[in-house]
Structure 1
Amino acid sequence: MAISRLTLAAALLVAGAALAESWRSYHNDRFGVTAAYPAGWKMGPEPTNNDGRVFSSPDGTAQVTISGMFAVDSRQEEMASRSEPLEGETVTYSTRGDNWIVVSGTRNGRVFYRKALLSCGDRVWNDLDIDYPEQDKAKFDAIVGHMAASLRPGAGYDITCK
């Protein structure tokens, strides 16, 4: 009995260590969006318009984009368009509040997860887009949850929030 408890404890310790991540925070100066990403992920180059960054997993199979953009239509129109699947997507989960929306599903054997917060008097979208292989869903569930919970709007140099 003592051996099976020891084996169980060791297995739990290894599983917990595998799920543990250290995190870094990315803040976009232009739109003010902030979110956490796994420390081992590689940050892509800064785009010319400075709207955000793409981060890639160490093995290159997954990526996350943390970005901001100006809202161009009414809240109702933008919420409706963000709820719609893009070409080739099957939406399996969608929920929304007054100023946020989450859409997730599959496309070509990959999982996508998009969370968007409308901020600054309905003038800015703060976005988190995650894409990874469908067979790795269990591996990425905790990572997606942590990143999604960390997404925060804020003021940037291109926008003043009231």
Structure 2
Amino acid sequence: MRIFALVIAVFFASPALAQYWGHYANERFGYEIDVPPGFEGSGESDNGDGQVFYRLEAEQQLTVWGGHLLEGFEAEAAQRQDRASQDNWGISYQASTPQWAVFSGQRDHRVLYQRMIALCDGASYAGYALEYNVRDLAATDAVIDGLNRSLAASDC
């Protein structure tokens, strides 16, 4: 029975594994991130800080941005989490170090996962926020792993 379940799992996972991730590099702030298959970019923002990517059929949105640190990295991370709480996201997980911060939460049937990293200049940061439907929770774990692994400074 286990072999049958494994064969079925590999069969259904194969189309997803065959798709390639894209890549986004931001010159203004000096960071990069891989973009999951099926996400279409809307073009870089007017001020050049990042881009929004959509996967419409799955009701998913990936927002990628960079910013200047006014009060330090940890203060910026705390402000982002406070803002999410004020927007009625029920924060259920958070972790941070002086170099990275992450939190996630739920509002109605939507899930938010946000990660930020300090950039090499010590005066700026990069981050992403992935918003998706709670029905996609298990399937999105691999996407989040790929995003976390690829979000990096490019100008060090």
What TM-score do you get using the length of structure 2 for normalisation? 0.86
Structure-2 residue corresponding to 1:158: none
1:11 equivalent in alignment to 2:8: yes
Which has the higher Rg, Structure 1 or Structure 2? 1
Structure-2 residue corresponding to 1:77: 75
Instruction: For 1:104, give the aligned amino acid.
Output: S
Structure-2 residue corresponding to 1:95: 95
Higher strand share: 2
Distance 1:6-1:141 versus aligned 2 partners, 3 A rule: closer
Q: Spell out, residue by residue over 1:30-75, the C-alpha distance to the aligned partner (whole angstroms, 9 max, x if none).
A: 1111111113211112211011111111515001112111111134
CA distance in 2, matches of 1:115, 1:5: 36
1:46 equivalent in alignment to 2:26: no
* Cα displacement (A) at 1:138: 1.2
Is the 2:115–2:128 Cα contact (8 Å) retained in structure 1? yes
Alignment of 1:1-150 (within 5 A): 7-17=4-14, 19-20=16-17, 21-59=19-57, 61-84=59-82, 85-150=85-150
Higher helix share: 2
* Cα displacement (A) at 1:118: 1.3
Matched positions, count? 153
Pairwise CA RMSD of aligned residues? 2.1
Is the 2:77–2:116 Cα contact (8 Å) retained in structure 1? no
CA distance in 2, matches of 1:28, 1:93: 28
What fraction of aligned residue pairs are identical, expressed as a percent? 25
